[in-house]
Amino acid sequence: LAKTTQPISMDSYEGQEVNITCSHNNIATNDYITWYQQFPSQGPRFIIQGYKTKVTNEVASLFIPADRKSSTLSLPRVSLSDTAVYYCLAIGQNFVFGPGTRLSVLP
């Protein structure tokens, strides 16, 4: 299983763009990169997934360089409600969560 490494925590202010980078040096050829968001006492919620280059949806963008050894989740214009833990997963066969990044959005 590919091991992922993310910053433990990040602070931002409302209206700013937030970029969270995840390292997955030993990612396998078949692994997709997927990001989840989790609020306290709730189950994780899927945000975005990608294999390479750039993926964008209504919530976020995901940037994956050609070597696929890292990825960056970009959250445009965050609000207080984006305060949560964000998990990066390099998924081959199953969903194994790393420690995640605790994002705090300040007013």
Partner 1 sequence: DTEVTQTPKHLVMGMTNKKSLKCEQHMGHRAMYWYKQKAKKPPELMFVYSYEKLSINESVPSRFSPECPNSSLLNLHLHALQPEDSALYLCASSQVAGNTEAFFGQGTRLTVV
Q: Which C-beta is closer to partner 1: that of 13 or that of 39?
A: 39
Q: Which helix (H) or strand (E) holds 94?
A: none
- Segment contacting partner 1 (CB under 8 A): 20-28, 52-60, 65-73, 84-92? 84-92
Residue 93 CB contacts under 8 Å (≥ 6 apart), including other chains: 1
Cα 91 off chain centre by: 13
Which among 75, 58, 68 is positioned nearest to 32, based on CA atoms?
68
Q: Which C-beta is closer to partner 1: that of 16 or that of 38?
A: 38
> Mask of contacts with partner 1, 4-33, x by CB under 8 A?
----------------------------x-
Q: Which helix (H) or strand (E) holds 18?
A: strand 18-23
97 binds partner 1 (CB under 8 A): yes
37 binds partner 1 (CB under 8 A): no
